Amino acid sequence: MLTISQLARYAGVTVRAVRHYHQIGLLPEPERNDSGYRTYNAAAVARLIRIRTLADAGVPLARVQELLDASTEQFAEGIQEIDKELRAEVRRLQDTRKRLARLATGDHLALPQSVVAYLDRLRALGVGEWYIEQERDAWIMVAAQVPDQIEVVMAKKHEDLNDPDMVRLYGLISGMLDCTVDDPRVVEFADILERLLIRAVEAGEVGNDGFEEPFVDLLDATVVEASPVAERILAILAERGWKGWTRIERVQKISPG
Amino acid sequence: MLTISQLARYAGVTVRAVRHYHQIGLLPEPERNDSGYRTYNAAAVARLIRIRTLADAGVPLARVQELLDASTEQFAEGIQEIDKELRAEVRRLQDTRKRLARLATGDHLALPQSVVAYLDRLRALGVGEWYIEQERDAWIMVAAQVPDQIEVVMAKKHEDLNDPDMVRLYGLISGMLDCTVDDPRVVEFADILERLLIRAVEAGEVGNDGFEEPFVDLLDATVVEASPVAERILAILAERGWKGWTRIERVQKISPG
DNA sequence: GCTTGACCTTGACGCAGCGTCAACCCTCGA
DNA sequence: TCGAGGGTTGACGCTGCGTCAAGGTCAAGC
């Protein structure tokens, strides 16, 4: 007669594992001696080894039971099914590794290379880190929202940066973030922006962007939330007959008051 | 301002996941409105997407935190480490699949092919299933105990089965399992067995088997436990100067009484 | 104003397969 | 007789949430 640790040694498992198998009913509880010790026989050793053989082969414990007393065909069938699951798991891990590799090289945390390059160009124009982070967060959201259009959008953005007015605009940004709302630069900024908008409208570049309205609202809200100056600029543009920000549109000129 | 489910939708995760990230401190708890609802902004969406990007890439949540605010080098280092772990996991699964394949084809539940073939030969000799199972359990233990010697041992066993006396022996077994201890076949069995033993001793085939003594005792105990008839046969052989069963030895002939 | 259904809240269990205390009893050799 | 090294049950921990349960809230339609 064997104690639990002897049984475990023969089968090459831990004592804790044996008790676990008792708990889940995989290995029947044996007789106890007068002191309450479990007493095992050779049959238990054999069963335990068979359990471990299946478990080591990747069979979930919950299925070991059925496989142990299955016919030859059922057994083969079960094994096949489990192998299929293992294959799927391997594929999943391989996919994961690929994504990880992309993270390490090109894409930096949910951002395609084109956006990273765009942000770098802004940095080069003297835009401060705080604003860059705001842009980055926005682009992360956009990339997640419309992943298949991001490259087209970014190409357009890169092109926009060739416009001297656009460069001027970004040159103003850092200085404006913490200025007062009646700073003359605010109006200057609005002027430049309006020129750009008029040109965009003339080029027919305004309109459907593929975003859902709540998403546009979210981006707009972020801008307003970011700084009172941003809010002021929006107000100035609204007075001049523009609506929105993320998706800006020409509307009827509203009479003041 | 977003509710938790809107936030979750934008980032493509479940509400439960968001709350989980709050719990483990991965995503800071936002402000609440008057009803106690969490109110999120766009920055939260961006952070959540970055968290998911890392998590989807196989980064354990516990490490996402550090990677999110790591320098470029630390980041690359961390990613490399995680990739190493993923590689190891894939290898482990591939190993598992190989073992599973062996289970499906050759080895049947912890038994090498040679043992399975041996048991089949016993079946062909008319040995009953109950005894076959006893043998099988014993061989499972032996195979686990001395895996590198099992093939040699089995080769010997297969050879033994060519001996007509051995065939006779196995022919008797099934009928004897539930007979009384004073059945004449018991003595017949002992006689045949003794003839085989004498020949084995003459051929110098008795001795070291590579087993530890407690293991031999375990196998012997199993035999005795199996049937009173087995016990009786052991006793007869003991009277005739033999000791043991699994590892049988010639000892001084003991005077009766 | 009331109902209805969709959301929100916290709290807690469950999952796989044990590892690892804790607190206490049993056995065996010196 | 004592101490070391067994055994016993019970319970928490790990990962990353899924899934109730038992409420409070909100917007819409009657």
Task: Write the DSSP assignment of A218-256 as a string of letters.
Answer: HHHHHHHHH-HHHHHHHHHHHHTTEE-STT-EE-PPPPP
Residue B126, SS3?
A: coil
């599973």: which residue's tokens? B100
| CB B131 within 8 Å of CB B177 | yes
Say whether A54 and B94 touch across the interface (CB within 8 A): no
Query: Average pLDDT for residues B29-43, to the nearest whole number?
Result: 94
CB-CB under 8 Å, A137 with B43 = yes
For residue A98, which phi and psi values (nearest 5 degrees)? -60, -45
* Residue B94 in this model has a pLDDT that exceeds 60: yes
pLDDT of B99 strictly over 60: yes
Say what the pLDDT of residue A105 is: 66
What pLDDT does A142 receive? 92
Chosen from B68, B140, B211 to mutate, greatest number of chain A CBs within 10 A? B140
Tell me, yes or no, if B81 comes closer than 8 A to chain A by beta carbon: no
Q: CA A214, CA B1: separation in Å to the nearest integer?
A: 11
* Average pLDDT of span B157-178: 90
A96–B93 C-beta distance less than 8 A: no
Nearest-CA distance B198 → chain A (Å):
29
User: B221: which chain A residues are within 8 Å (Cβ-Cβ)?
Assistant: 1, 41-42
CATH architecture of B1-69: Orthogonal Bundle (1.10)
Contacts of B166 (CB under 8 A, 6+ apart): B160, B196
Nucleotides of chain D in contact with protein CB (under 7 A) are 6-9, 15-19, 24-26
CA of A55 to C1' of D3 (A): 39
Give the closest residue to C26 (Cα–C1′): A35
Q: Is B37's CB less than 7 Å from nucleic acid strand C?
A: yes
Torsional class of B244: left (φ above 0), alpha (ψ -120 to 50), beta (otherwise): left
Token pair 């085989």 is found at B196
Question: Chain B residue closest to A52 (CA)?
Answer: B110
Q: Are B38 and B3 in contact (CB under 8 A)?
A: yes
Strands A249-250 and B242-243, by their bridges, are unpaired
Of A99, A104, A141, the CB nearest to B10: A141
Among candidates B97, B135, B96, which has minimal Cα distance to B116?
B135
Strand ranges (E), chain B: 242-243, 249-250
Out of A104-118, A157-171, B27-41, B86-100, pick the least confident.
A104-118
Q: How far is CA A8 from CA A33, A52, B139, B170, in A?
A: 18, 11, 17, 32
> Distance from residue B116 (CA) to nucleotide D7 (C1'), in Å?
37
Q: How confident is the prediction for chain B on average, in pLDDT? A: 88
Which residues, given as ranges, of chain A have pLDDT below 50? Answer: 257
Return contacts of A171-180, CB within 8 angstroms, 24+ apart: A171/A125, A171/A126, A173/A127, A173/A128, A173/A131, A174/A126, A174/A127, A174/A128, A174/A131, A176/A229, A177/A128, A177/A130, A177/A131, A177/A227, A177/A229, A178/A227, A179/A229
| pLDDT at site B45 | 95
Q: Does A224 touch chain B (CB under 8 A)?
A: no
Q: Quick one: A139 exposed, middle or buried, by C-beta within 10 A (0-12, 13-18, 19+)?
A: buried
Give pLDDT, residue B33.
Answer: 93
Q: Which of B56, B42, B77, B43 is nearest to B13 (CA)?
A: B56
CB B51, CB B92: distance < 8 Å: no
Contact of A131 with A92, CB cutoff 8 Å: no
Residues A181 and A232: beta-carbon distance below 8 Å: yes
With a pLDDT cut of 90, the percent of chain B lying above it is: 43
Nucleotide C15, nearest residue via CA and C1': A62
Per-residue CA distances from B222 to B19, B112, B120, B141 (Å): 57, 22, 22, 12
Mean pLDDT of B72-101: 87
**Is the CB of residue B219 less than 8 Å away from at least one CB of chain A?**
yes
User: Sign of torsion, CA A179 A184 A187 A190?
Assistant: negative
Task: Note which residues in 238-257 of chain A have CB less than 8 A from chain B.
Answer: none
Contacts of B60 in chain A (CB under 8 A): none
Selected residue with higher pLDDT from A44 and B175: A44
What tokens were used for A69? 């007393």
List chain A domain ranges.
1-69, 71-104, 106-250
Q: Is the pLDDT of residue B100 over 90?
A: no
Q: Is the CB of B218 under 7 A from strand C?
A: no
Per-residue pLDDT at B257: 43
Residue of B nearest to A42 (CA): B222
Instruction: Count other C-beta atoms under 10 Å from residue B48's C-beta.
Output: 25
Confidence of residue B105 (pLDDT cuts 50, 70, 90): low
Bases along strand C below 7 A from a protein CB: 7-10, 16-20, 25-27
What is the average per-residue pLDDT within B147-166? 92
For residue A216, give both structure tokens. 């546009």
DSSP A172-220: HHHHHTTS-TT-HHHHHHHHHHHHHHHHHHHTT--S--S--HHHHHHHH
Please say whether the beta carbons of A220 and A231 come within 8 A: no
Task: Tell whether A42 is within 8 A of chain B (Cβ).
Answer: yes
Whether the CB of B74 is below 8 Å from some CB of chain A: the reply is no
